[in-house]
A and B are shown apart, each in its own frame.
Chain A
Amino acid sequence: MNAIEVDDLVKRYGDFEAVRGISFRVKRGEIFAFLGPNGAGKTTTVHVLTTLLKPTSGGATVAGHDVVREPDAVRRKIGIVFQDMSLDSELTAYENMLIHGRIYGLGGNELKDKIERLLKFVELWDFRDRQVKTFSGGMQRRLEIARSLLHEPEVLFLDEPTIGLDPQTRAHIWDYIRAMKEEHDMTVFLTTHYMDEAEMLADRIAIMDHGKIIAEGTADELKGLIGNDVIYLRIKAPEELRCLKADFIRGCKLLPDGRVRLDVENAAGALPRLFELASSGGIKILEVTYHRPTLNDVFLHLTGREIREDADEREAMKVKMRTRMRMWGRRR
């Protein structure tokens, strides 16, 4: 059985279509990642799957239950770590865990033991009586992960679990995610705009952009969409910049930043031939880089843009500040 099944899901905010007809399956026990830039529609999808938003059209089941018709059955089986912090910062770590557990119907010694085990698991047991507002971002994230596991969900949603954290803390959180997946045998649905995160954690990845899934598969399958190696060139050509053509070049693309991207079988063998080709055509090569394809190259290949552009990041921060100030509306 599939843990998540989504068919032709559409979500509109007013006139704006944030999710534009996506379909996918997540198998039981796998870690599935949504990879995409800010504004792709990842959080919106998570909110629909976790019953917080009603889809505009299309349908979804999570853990075998329909998210619209059986929201309570879905809620009992899922855990979620929201993109934005959702702890009660006035309360202590322990109190946050206790309240969550009791809301999910747990109690007594069973709950106490679980809280202790999970707080130890995320290494916050020694800080259990400190108010959450004194915690660092990484500590808050760890507490949220521990909290989401308290009621032993079948399907766990992690919306950008390491956004805004430093590299060390991120690696640390990846360790927890892998360890808890091993221990609890659950399905994990994760969203991220960090390609390394998707690559490190996910069994399968769906690349999302502008509300659509543009590719789906394992990291290797996705990279297979390009070629074996990728070469980036900055060149000065006598005429207008064109794509280079030769039998050893499997793909060529002019990038908006003025560079040329070539997909080749083997960069080491291709480079000498490339220089020959250039000099015979009167082209001056100003800069060469090459590497094995990354998911970013895949994204670039599919969309012509990078997943993470700095402008994107800054824009995202602005959007985030704005949404923080925007309050919740009401269902009509």
Chain B
Amino acid sequence: MRVFTTMVYRELKRFSHSRARVIGSIVNPLIWLIFFGKGWSGVFNNPMAASIFGGVDYMTYLVPGIVAMTVFNMSFMQGITIIWDKQFGFLKEILVAPASRTEAILGRITGGAIMAMMQGIIILALSFALADLKLSGVLPALGMAFLVGIAIAGMGVAIALRMTSMEGFQMIIMMIMLPMTFLSGAFYPINTMPDWMQWLSKVNPLTYAVDGSRYYLAGVTPTFGMTVDWLVLGGLAALLAGIAALEFRKATID
């Protein structure tokens, strides 16, 4: 357990040392919430729109999506930045230590998920001023955020461990993060998308977090049902973290 907690500690410390990252990770979702959210709120201020958005106003519909997006972006960055550890040698320090690699990488992933969830908490707290949210939904929504954090940080680690150069870094971020965000149903319902897009949405872990936390926070009827949402999120978290751990056990330096 000691290696696990040490790696969690490292993630928290690294984050707290970097003021730019702390501020950036809060400002970005706020821009979405305020400019994007307020912008469309006027357009969607009619009964037709309300029925599309599950009977709530657009801002209330959007907040759970933005919280999930925040957690997603943050945890993906936390995971994929293991590439810097590779580049700048810290990983060698772990590989040469008499420590369980599985524990070390799960600690790193969990640390990333916790950081991401804390960003989600901040955005959520600020959102209470903008939308009509349920306080009782906060805890279960954060539970979902944590699972998304684990799944996505695990995915980031698995991708980064397979990368052989920094060149693909920006491209991977563009090719993975933006589509996953748009396909998650954070901004609009997925059931009116074309079939092939719906299919992509269904293999996107983020979709289930948006669906579930929108039920908890806004009271919108879930598309998949709460059991499915929890099972899929839990399963994906275990699967992706597991893949990352397997990959990390094989990591070497040649």
Contact = CB atoms under 8 A, between A and B. Distances in A.
Interface of A: 13, 47, 50-54, 72, 75-76, 78, 80, 82, 84-92, 95, 99-100, 102-105, 107, 131, 324-331
Contacts of A85: 88-89
- 7 nearest A-B pairs in the assembled complex, by CB-CB distance: A86-B89, A75-B98, A102-B6, A76-B98, A331-B252, A327-B164, A90-B14
B131 interface: no
B97 A99 contact: no
B18 A90 contact: yes
A49 B29 CA distance: 48
Contacts of B90: 86-88
Contacts of A78: 96
Interface of B is mostly: helix
A52 B9 CA distance: 25
Nearest to A13: B254
B13 A95 contact: yes
B10 A325 contact: no
21 contacts: A47-B253, A53-B254, A54-B252, A75-B97, A82-B89, A82-B93, A85-B89, A86-B92, A88-B14, A88-B90, A90-B18, A91-B10, A100-B93, A102-B2, A103-B6, A325-B166, A327-B164, A327-B165, A328-B251, A330-B252, A331-B251
Interface string B1-36: 011011001100110011000000000000000000
B18 to A, nearest CB: 6
Interface in B86-111: 86-99, 104
A48 to B, nearest CB: 10
A145 B101 CA distance: 23
Contacts of B93: 82, 86, 100
Contact of A80 (B3, B96, B247): B96
Nearest to B18: A90
A60 to B, nearest CB: 15
Given A75-B98, A103-B99, 20 more contacts: A13-B254, A52-B96, A82-B93, A84-B89, A86-B92, A86-B93, A90-B13, A90-B18, A95-B13, A99-B9, A102-B3, A103-B2, A103-B3, A103-B104, A325-B165, A326-B164, A327-B163, A328-B251, A329-B164, A331-B251
B162 interface: yes
A81 B142 CA distance: 42
Contacts of A88: 10, 14, 90
